[in-house]
Structure 1
Amino acid sequence: MIFRVVKLLVICCWVVLLVVLVKKDFLVSTLDSAEQEVLTLAKYQQYYGVYLQEKRIGYVMEDIRPDGEDGLHIHQEASLRLKVLNSVQPITMNLSAKVGKGLQLRTFEFSFSSPFYSTTANGRVEGNTVYFSLDTGGAIMEDTLTLQGPPVLPLNQRSYLLSGVKEKGDKLKVPFFDPFSLSAKTSVVTYKGREKKLLHKRIYNIHLFTESYAGMQTEFWLDDEGKVVRERSPAGFVFQAEPKFKAMDIQDSGDELLSAVAVQYTGKLFQENSTKAVFQLQFPTEAEVELNGGRQHFVDGKLTLNKEVFPPSSGGENIASENSCAGDDATLQASRYVQSDDPALQAKAQEIVGEETDPARQVALLTDWVYNNLEKRPVIGLPDALTTLKSGKGDCNEHAALFAALARSLNIPTTIAAGVTLQNDSFYYHAWNEVCLVGQWLSLDTTVNQIPADLYHIRFTRGDLEGQLAIGALIGKLQIEILPAQE
């Protein structure tokens, strides 16, 4: 059992990797109407091979057909094979949408399926507002999102970008609605000029663009007609326009996904009983990180962690004021994926703590229950607490979401921490929790039943799913050096 739990640290599969992978081909954007361009082709179909470490692991298909006199029917599908801890995980995605004049979105249906997880979503657009419903199999959620303008479905025909830029360095802001995470964000697209690129053993002089989103950056190349011919994500995934027979010839599941994005470190490991740790960190300046707060102090590239004491005391050196972290609405309120107001979750929390009223003891009871009652499985999908409670399985993301919902239902301020932790000889991306007790933020990890979490847990961001996506900016760019604590 201990071996399985330790291995689970390796297989906490970050949903951000998949969001980065699919968002370019499964997204709904808002563009200035002056930049919109009506698709001129009556019929259109394009296939893209998906590569990881130069191995074709899947494909994406886009099909466009007329729908009445003034509309189009869009169908996109993707099939992937990802290797997670040497276990091949098949993933399928489908998007069906109807658009009107100017490619403005009218309705959409989206489905996602992977081992141990599946979800469907559908929605309609009225003006600038998207009304949608999400079914995870364990929970049904209904919500709305209002964008800056009527949502437009950008296709792999993106000639509107060529008409929107004039010279190298020009930028465009593109707000979008993503039907996978059902969230709205704004990305910045920058024109980098023409670049000679070797594709299919031929050299093409094509247009290079970069897109920045939550600190992450993707690259894509357009031909003179505005069609995407190649795209590369921060996680190392590559999309390449190909004939159908070639794109659908899935060769492999690629190399181990999580090992590919693991962070090697330098320096000497410290003792397990250490109460202080110091790290030298290097990462992109545009990364939206939250390194200060709680037990962490970051200055001039150096991060110091002081291990907390559990249960915490309201007195002593370096203890914050009694109300320094209590009462933060975001850490007490229910959210789309942390449904602390759901009766089933509230009842389960009360069942776990019984008549115990001391918040520190409640935290200990909840941590122990989540650790012992969730089957340790890698789940590629959007982690939500209610579905996790019903399924009884998950990786670090599901553990953290479920604990947050249970604790918030007892009025304990709780957040989800996202960062890295040490496993064997590398740091892997991971999720855990922080709770506010007697005015102090205290870390804990329900995946391995640690209160407080050990000092190799380095937090880079806090928040529910939307806040966690910022960690994607670190992929492939984070450097960690362990320094002697006395420095």
Structure 2
Amino acid sequence: MTRTRPLLPLLGLAVALLSAAPVLAQAPAGAPRPAAKAATVSDALKVPRPKGGEWLGLYLMDKKVGYFFTDLALVPGRTDQVKSINELVFKATVGTRVSERVHREERIYEAKPNGRLLSFVVEQRGDGGDQRMEGTNTPQGLRVVRKRPGLPDELRTLPASPEKVEDADQARVAVFRKATVEGTITDGTDLTSYKVTTTVEPAEERMVRGVKVRLGKAQTISEKEKVPVLAYVTEQGEMVEVDFGQTMKARSESEAVAKRLDVVEVFGLTRIVLPRQLPTEARAIPGRAVMVMTGLPEKFQKDNYRQKYVRMPNGQVEVTLSADFPKPTHLKPLPLADPEGGDNLKATIIVESDNADIIKLSKQLVGKEKDAHAAARKINEWVAKNLVKDYGASADRASDVLRQMKGDCTEHSLLAVALLRAAGIPARRVDGVVYMVNEDKVPAFYWHEWVEAYVGEWTQMDPTFNQPVADATHFAVGQEGNAEITPLIGQLKVVEVKDKPSATPGR
């Protein structure tokens, strides 16, 4: 059975942090303010930070899987511009393959208060493909040139980014001002601008290198990731720890130590072991599976057509998963309107449903079919049968998947969603876990991605496993590769597999 890829939500959060990495360091609330420079200089330059930048090791469930470097300073030889540098390296073993991603960003801002973002360079290497994006931001718009080896350059013109220099170091600015700071970060992967908010938290005392010190604390949340990020720094402005929930942490280290990584096998580290196998019924259509879980926050416990929840004592929740074909009386013809406002039909820089090759293939696959469900099944089956299942061939954009014609669950789902949207079928990627019993015979959930399409009602399909209906071994917790689900890794547990649900009514 093809191994699935659990790295997407984790990488999504880690890469997103690069845009806000300087945000994670700040002076403590009780520290004296440094002497102000010129009145025309942004507060982002008035706060203390280690000269020459900082190195931090990145840990997943106490295993080191990467490191990042961050710095913010005036552009050498200039007093009117600021450069922010952030670089992430992520490396882990998946089965017999090594997955490695390098993501580096350099951003230039005006140095004055509320100085605007002027330009950026984003470089990506390794897992997901090699590319360089060069952006120029003016009040008239954001112009981005995408460069890839052996391919022609691509030009994309977007609305102007409202990002300011204070957004590159929100947390320090928030503590300096003793006030909440709100702003915008233009994401270095999807080029969309997201609101970012930082609030000052009460200071804490901790042991740092054997000495008890008072640490400043601030919390940053992006509307994209929705994962509270807590940063702790000394009175000298040294960032000593950053917490991304209980799953991931970054710790201050020397460059040499930060680059010394553990050998981490991600599947074994992040899987959710079950106390016994799921019943055969879970793989039938219609089918059902019932479990008792812990570590599932209330915000994830929302009943829908596939998943029902019953709260139990001691933080446990009974989860009933069900799978069935959509009702024939609900099916509609092509094209369909998005029942949720339009985002599920939108072409994006990642889900390129407006790409000429994807539009052409979608038309070929759908042909003269008018029934949306039948068309969706054709697309799902084609992706399942024609993409080579290869973990080491990741791609971050649908057109890249189509060009290389191989990948794991994320590539299968990304291409399927792009083809569905191009056919006029609202669709999105679904993130969660899928039940498998691998070579070691241990029943477990593994992190996975599949597809949800609207064909008159919502239905889930799995192009990785060629399932026209994703069976009841699929437990969904998020959408579109969003890192909001990352804190579940290592926290979500299955304590019981049941043969049938309890008689207790749902909420």
Same fold (TM over 0.5): yes
**Mapped partners of 2:361, 2:257: distance in 1:** 51
Q: Which of 262, 271, 277 is 2:271 aligned to?
A: 262
**Mapped partners of 2:240, 2:468: distance in 1:** 49
Q: Which moved more, 1:421-430 or 1:83-92?
A: 83-92
**Mapped partners of 2:498, 2:196: distance in 1:** 36
| Partner-residue secondary structure (3-state), 2:118 | strand
Q: Which of 49, 53, 57 is 1:46 aligned to?
A: 53
Q: List aligned pairs for 1:6-405, cutoff 5 A.
A: 8-9=3-4, 11-14=5-8, 16-27=9-20, 36-39=43-46, 44-52=51-59, 54=62, 56-63=64-71, 64=73, 65-102=75-112, 104-115=116-127, 117-127=129-139, 130-135=142-147, 140=154, 142-145=156-159, 150-152=164-166, 154-155=168-169, 159-165=172-178, 172-213=181-222, 214-234=225-245, 236-248=247-259, 250=260, 252-266=261-275, 269-271=278-280, 272-273=283-284, 275-283=287-295, 285=297, 287=299, 289=300, 291-298=302-309, 300=311, 301-309=317-325, 312-315=326-329, 326-328=336-338, 329-378=342-391, 383-405=396-418
Letter in 2 for 1:191: V
Q: Which of 429, 440, 450 is 1:416 aligned to?
A: 429
The Cα shift of 1:337 comes to: 1.8
**Mapped partners of 2:488, 2:348: distance in 1:** 25
Letter in 2 for 1:485: K
Whether contact under 8 Å (2:332, 2:372) holds in the other structure is no
| Partner-residue secondary structure (3-state), 1:196 | strand
Q: Which moved more, 1:341-350 or 1:228-237?
A: 228-237
Q: Which moved more, 1:408-417 or 1:257-266?
A: 257-266
Aligned length: 459
The Cα shift of 1:451 comes to: 1.6
Deviation sequence 1:55-74 (CA, Å, 0-9, x none): 55544334544242322334
Q: Give the match for residue 450 of structure 1.
A: 467
Whether contact under 8 Å (1:80, 1:90) holds in the other structure is yes
Deviation sequence 1:340-387 (CA, Å, 0-9, x none): 222211211233344555444433332222112212233697632111
The Cα shift of 1:429 comes to: 2.1
Whether contact under 8 Å (1:230, 1:239) holds in the other structure is yes
Q: Which of 449, 455, 459 is 1:431 aligned to?
A: 449
**TM-score normalized by the length of structure 2:** 0.77
Q: Which moved more, 1:381-390 or 1:273-282?
A: 273-282
The Cα shift of 1:200 comes to: 3.4
Q: 1:347 to 1:276 in 2, by over 3 A?
A: same
Deviation sequence 1:22-54 (CA, Å, 0-9, x none): 433433899xx9983325789931231414355
Whether contact under 8 Å (2:137, 2:160) holds in the other structure is no
**TM-score normalized by the length of structure 1:** 0.80
| Partner-residue secondary structure (3-state), 1:163 | helix
Q: 1:346 to 1:326 in 2, by over 3 A?
A: closer
Deviation sequence 1:111-150 (CA, Å, 0-9, x none): 1111451232222233596543445667946243556663
| Partner-residue secondary structure (3-state), 2:490 | coil
Q: 1:412 to 1:104 in 2, by over 3 A?
A: closer
Letter in 2 for 1:407: L
Q: Which of 459, 464, 476 is 2:490 aligned to?
A: 476
The Cα shift of 1:294 comes to: 3.7
**Mapped partners of 1:258, 1:129: distance in 2:** 42
Whether contact under 8 Å (1:181, 1:382) holds in the other structure is no
**Mapped partners of 1:412, 1:363: distance in 2:** 8
Give the alignment's Cα RMSD to 1 decimal: 3.6
Letter in 2 for 1:296: Q
Whether contact under 8 Å (2:190, 2:349) holds in the other structure is no
* Alignment gaps of 5+ in structure 1: none
Letter in 2 for 1:13: L
Give the percent of matched residue pairs that are identical in Structure 1 and Structure 2: 19
